[in-house]
Structure 1
Amino acid sequence: MRIQFYDSTKFSSFYVLLAFVFVCNNNSHLLLFLCPPRLSLSLSLSLSFSLSLSQILVSSVLESALAIWSLRMDAKSAVDLMESSSEVHFSGFHMDGFEQRKASIEQPTTSETDMYNQPFVIGVAGGAASGKTSVCDMIIQQLHDQRVVLVNQDSFYNNLSEEELTRVHDYNFDHPDAFDTEQLLLVMDKLKCGEAVDIPKYDFKSYKSDVLRRVNPSDVIILEGILVFHDPRVRELMNMKIFVDTDADVRLARRIRRDTAEKGRDIGAVLDQYSKFVKPAFDDFILPTKKYADIIIPRGGDNHVAIDLIVQHIRTKLGQHDLCKIYPNLYVIQSTFQIRGMHTLIRDAQTTKHDFVFYSDRLIRLVVEHGLGHLPFTEKQVVTPTGSVYTGVDFCKRLCGVSVIRSGESMENALRACCKGIKIGKILIHREGDNGQQLIYEKVPNDISDRHVLLLDPILGTGNSAVQAISLLIRKGVPESNIIFLNLISAPKGVHVVCKSFPRIKIVTSEIEIGLNEDFRVIPGMGEFGDRYFGTDDDDEQVVVPAQ
């Protein structure tokens, strides 16, 4: 028996079942192993014993394992993988069955999973010689267990023409027009989509970029340059923006040392360029972008405390769902086996109505409790029965709930159990297909503009109904930051629509789904939540407008 392992990225996001048989003392033994992510394999087995029960077993197990492969890659790729092996393959195994099996499983027709399976992008800006590269190097060193790639904006300088080369000392390298921003955007888009790219390497002696270097996709992308915050299209690609702030005299001293040693310039030319181009460009283009930074680091690479905090934050983000990296206002409650078990029950089509309601209520209660944790609190001291002083917090007083009829009403009991006497409003949006949303009823507290609002809807699908409900609350005077949207499951498209439209609201959910199918239903989902919870049939459903 021989097992060959190949390093590949085709199997980087799931576990692979490995099985083989060995014979000891005339007894056949079946061994199963679970290979970790990013370890792909090609099996080449040569079985010397005749057809037996054990051989049938191993063929069955390997067939199941390859069925898992075929769901993550097309049948042709799986066939190519098997044909690359030089030994005997599994007896009686055919890929035709896998194509039928793959087709029988409903797959999302949208590309949200690919769209949001993106790396964490960090932008690092600041004046020339401010210490940006040192900060990037320190971040990369501390993230040694993550794949990190550094993209330097200097690589995207425009090649100088023959005429410009004759007066290179009059060329402003610190102006936004000196960079090929379109090429930078193209490279970043490919890296975010998981594609390898060729990045030019700019030569500051010939002022050309004739050499290319290959860069592979990574978990973290650091984009560093003096003007990476200048173009809004580039800023939108970033999940974290860092501005390195260093005194002007320190930057000038570093620039003189660097340009004379690395770029072959004399001190006089460096000083002349600094006063003519560098200093004015910093004041006009670089310093104004400081306002876009999420983090400002004084003293650059010498500020070890700031860099440690940044690395800790990056590690936290890398441990989150990809959507949480993109949208800091999205909160997914921590998954446990208990939560996964309840999700398994309510997603099962065979679950009875009684069990569906029971376990849905348990999950809803967890989501509501988690959402309440994002409300503002004030510090409060109380005296315990032992006479000791305990310092705690006092709950937010001005609070109300708003449920989106009908499914949202299933979350009201959990909210009332957590918040005694809470006021709850209602919104009814009639759905006619994916885009035909019609608001036909709303009843909310008169003083809702002075309250924090918990918006209740168990499923976030396309996001169209949610956007309409949130828009209504904002028209009623509710500040966007005072809205917390609670749901059980969320589709990536809905998260994208809501968070892009209302970046200051908070979304609290228990799980992020794969996507939507061609009928705009959440996949894998749990069916029509309202029908299953209230025990009604979808065909008999009628839109009923509550009495005013």
Structure 2
Amino acid sequence: MPEETNSIDYIMEKASGPHFSGLRSPTSASSSSSFFADANAPRQPFVIGVSGGTASGKTTVCDMIIQQLHDHRVVLVNQDSFYRGLNTEELKRVHEYNFDHPDAFDTEQLLECVEKLKSGQSVQVPIYDFKQHRRSSDSFRQVNASDVIILEGILVFHDQRVRNLMNMKIFVDTDADVRLARRIRRDTVERGRDVNSVLEQYAKFVKPAFDDFVLPSKKYADVIIPRGGDNHVAIDLIVQHIRTKLGEHDLCKIYPNVYVIQSTFQIRGMHTLIRDRDISKHDFVFYSDRLIRLVVEHGLGHLPFTEKQVITPTASIYTGVDFCKKLCGVSIIRSGESMENALRACCKGIKIGKILIHRDGDDGKQLIYEKLPKDISERHVLLLDPVLGTGNSANQAIELLIQKGVPESHIIFLNLISAPEGIHCVCKRFPSLKIVTSEIDVALNEEFRVIPGMGEFGDRYFGTDD
């Protein structure tokens, strides 16, 4: 475990956000060990690219994002830091040098820097002296791995390799006259240049480069912000999206059909109770039922709805939605039966089928029983199993449903905890199916048990673990 994970700040940071646990593929002990290494690796940071014309307000936008993400570790990497230092001949003709051309930047070093940060390593970013037009030879800026990396510069969208490292691309769009006025003020005050040289450089290099390189890269942006830092609404929406993405488990980014219900202290507390090996059976069942109800309600939210109008007791019209009528549940015996009461409590009179998978070794599962509604092919199916481990039993149950005519996209798999191996196993084979879970655990161990897990759920729930 990294040294930083021992700190109180790290523990509190992890506890305050959405909580996830892990997973592992049932191939061999060696592959299981390698997966443990992956599971404990640093989570991938969220990389944001911010581009736009010179003096468009890129830095202001970045500062506002950083301020609003104060509860996350955020680093800013400026493309300007990666200007190539001018040699003696270039310095003699500095007024003829185009600082707004892609060749003015050391893109290879920029790539290396961002790739290291994404992998969790610290880097030393060069410091560029805009008055001397050279890099400082004996000083660097130390940048540590963080939750969010903001890469800012006029040409950060120009190179496809750099764009591919970004999770979000923002283009700051500001009127040309405003940008020119800001450029004059900045270069005269901060960079020691006179007004005539700034205007000459703008006409000769800056504006042509904007038209040739910067403006065409606007098409790669996911979000365009008019008026830059003055557009508070756009920045608030961007920060909200970033917070959502930071709250997602890495597997939810890989598989958009995997949904983890939003974690709260109530949910964390209930997980703490049912995972405790010393909890009484009564409390285990009580808190498991509460969690299962939340998962079921969340799963129902993914069903199709139709608009419906009703007349209220005040003789007013209320426009709402009508529930999906063609629905059934299917429990994977025996643990899945523990989720049936919650489903019945949410869906009055719902039909529930059953599938029994015989466990004869981890890879030798064999279907020995199924009892399903005759019209199941016409229904949306909520598949019930509280623990998704290797995914082998789930895959066999899903395959049976598909053979019965249920479209893959009509299946929603509900469980309390999932192992990453199981998610990989199911989602790769059935990419259109949805998985709804309350937590993703760390991994499977060599015995294919979910870690940290909650033991044999069926035995604990039905009281047959003695």
Considering the TM-score relative to the shorter chain, is it more than 0.5? yes
Partner of 2:122: 196
Native 8 Å contact 2:328 2:352 kept in 1: yes
Say whether 1:206 aligns with 2:133: yes
Structure 1 residue aligned with 2:81, among 155, 158, 162?
155
Partner of 1:94: none
Counterpart amino acid of residue 212 in structure 2: P
Partner of 1:544: none
Say whether 1:267 aligns with 2:199: yes
More deviation in 422-431 or 189-198? 422-431
CA–CA distance in 1 between the matches of 2:113 and 2:426? 28
What are the residue-to-residue correspondences of 1:300-339 with 2, within 5 Å? 300-314=228-242, 320=247, 323=250, 330-337=259-266
What are the residue-to-residue correspondences of 1:260-299 with 2, within 5 Å? 264=193, 265-274=197-206, 276-284=208-216, 286-290=217-221, 293=222, 295-299=223-227
Q: 1:518 to 1:126 in 2, by over 3 A?
A: farther
Native 8 Å contact 2:158 2:214 kept in 1: no
Aligned length: 434
CA–CA distance in 1 between the matches of 2:398 and 2:86? 52
Displacement of 1:525:
0.4
Counterpart amino acid of residue 445 in structure 2: N
CA–CA distance in 1 between the matches of 2:400 and 2:164? 27
CA–CA distance in 1 between the matches of 2:153 and 2:459? 54
Native 8 Å contact 1:455 1:486 kept in 2: yes
Native 8 Å contact 2:74 2:148 kept in 1: yes
Displacement of 1:267:
2.2
CA–CA distance in 2 between the matches of 1:333 and 1:515? 20
Q: 1:492 to 1:342 in 2, by over 3 A?
A: closer
CA–CA distance in 2 between the matches of 1:202 and 1:467? 56
What are the residue-to-residue correspondences of 1:465-476 with 2, within 5 Å? none
Structure 2 residue aligned with 1:187, among 113, 130, 140?
113
Native 8 Å contact 1:346 1:359 kept in 2: no
Aligned-partner SS, 1:110: helix
Aligned-partner SS, 1:487: strand
Partner of 1:344: 273
Partner of 1:133: 59
Say whether 1:510 aligns with 2:442: no
Counterpart amino acid of residue 110 in structure 1: F
Give structure 1 stretches of 5+ with no counterpart. Answer: 1-7, 16-35, 39-106, 538-548
Partner of 1:459: 387
Structure 2 residue aligned with 1:486, among 408, 414, 418?
414
Displacement of 1:201:
2.2
Q: 1:233 to 1:391 in 2, by over 3 A?
A: same
Q: 1:304 to 1:386 in 2, by over 3 A?
A: closer
Q: 1:495 to 1:259 in 2, by over 3 A?
A: farther
Displacement of 1:190:
4.3
CA–CA distance in 1 between the matches of 2:429 and 2:85? 40
More deviation in 417-426 or 374-383? 417-426
Partner of 1:527: 455
* TM-score using structure 2 length: 0.69
Native 8 Å contact 2:172 2:228 kept in 1: yes
* TM-score using structure 1 length: 0.61
Counterpart amino acid of residue 529 in structure 1: F
Counterpart amino acid of residue 415 in structure 2: N
CA–CA distance in 2 between the matches of 1:503 and 1:160? 52
